[in-house]
Amino acid sequence: MNSTVSISELQDQAPQVVKRAERNGSVAVCRHGHTVAFVVSRGRMEAILETLEIMADESAMRSIRDYESGRIKAKPFEPDEI
pLDDT at res. 8: 96
If phi > 0 it is left, if psi is from -120 to 50 it is alpha, else beta; for residue 12 that is: alpha
Residue 13 has pLDDT above 70, yes or no: yes
Question: Whole-angstrom Cα distance, residue 24 to residue 1?
Answer: 9
Q: Bridge partners of 27?
A: 39
Confidence of residue 82 (pLDDT cuts 50, 70, 90): low
Look up the pTM and report it. Answer: 0.71
C-alpha span between 59 and 48 (Å, rounded): 19
pLDDT tens, position by position, 14-56: 999 999 999 999 999 999 999 999 999 999 999 999 999 999 9
Phi, psi dihedrals of residue 30, rounded to the nearest 5°: -115, 150
